[in-house]
Chains A and B, each alone.
Chain A
Amino acid sequence: MSIVTTIVSAVLSFCIAAYGWGFLNKRANKSAKRSETFSLISIVTSILDDFDSMAETQFKEYINDAALVGPIRLSKQRYNAQKQQMHEAKFLTRYGIFRARLLHLEGRNVVIPAANLLELKKAMTLTAINSSINYQKALIATQKIHQELYLAFEREHCD
């Protein structure tokens, strides 16, 4: 009788241990995936912060030439155009890296809608960031993506 009890207890203990181990393993994998996804999101949000800074720099550097006339105005317009070209090249390079990082996140079901990505690109390259309205458009576009990232993360990992 005592042998039977011992065997039953051992089997039960083993089953409980196996279930516990399996449960912990599952939790650990989930936590690891969550942590990796969050790390990727941190990189993406850091690039988004760079876009904010780029917009701010461009806005500050812009020279308002409306009051200028003649050759001085032309020279300022050229200066602004060259600056814009530089900012656009910088943005597009970072945007390429940004998109590559987002592709990694898409593999983890954290997806940013194409409309948000286009809004950002348009805000940064459709016209020069030469007014407070254009500056706000850039900030709004980056903030929408920030928000989407966190919402997608919550949907995927915080059930």
Chain B
Amino acid sequence: MANLYMNECHMKYNIDLAEDFSPFPFGRYTPLDGEYTGEVFREKILKDKLVKMVSGDKLVVNLNGIDIGIGSSFLTESFGGAVKKGYIDKKLFLESLTIICDDGLYDTEIRDYIKEAQVES
């Protein structure tokens, strides 16, 4: 999970879902759905990067190491959930996020969840 400097001002954060979290992510909430849920990914991996991000920073999430695919419940809870919890502004999240995946539908799906999410009051 290397954080690479892009230039003097901006940061680039890399997350490899399979290596940094689990090759078998599943479900929304822990403990009900198991250990590697969207909630845990959001709180333990995503949150500390998202809260530090400013305009111009980049967040690159690599999904390629996941073997059988990632369920929608995991994706909405982690990415959409981050907006709901107020960890990052929706617009900034969409601008800074890059999804690396052989299957281009994941990028569309994740962006849908971010767009649909509303900050919880």
Contacts and interface: CB of A to CB of B under 8 A. Distances in A.
Which applies to chain A's interface (DSSP): helix, strand, loop or mixed?
Answer: helix
Interface stretch (A9-17, A21-29, A49-57, A78-86): A78-86
Interface stretch (A31-39, A122-130, A146-154): A122-130
A88 B73 CA distance: 10
Question: What's the interface size class on B, roughly?
Answer: 10 to 19
A77 B34 CA distance: 12
A121 B72 contact: yes
B109 A85 contact: no
Contact of B26 (A88, A95, A99): A88
A71 B105 CA distance: 40
Contact of A126 (B33, B72, B103): B72
A93 interface: yes
Contact of A81 (B34, B76, B112): B34
B77 to A, nearest CB: 10
Q: Which one of B34, B71, B76, B112 has the greatest number of beta carbons of chain A within 10 Å?
A: B71
Contacts of A85: 26-27, 33-34
Contacts of B72: 121-122, 124-126
A124 B73 CA distance: 10
Interface of B: 26-27, 32-34, 68-73, 76, 103, 105, 108-109, 112
Q: Which 8 A-B pairs have the closest CB atoms?
A: A92-B69, A125-B71, A126-B72, A125-B72, A88-B71, A92-B68, A122-B72, A81-B32
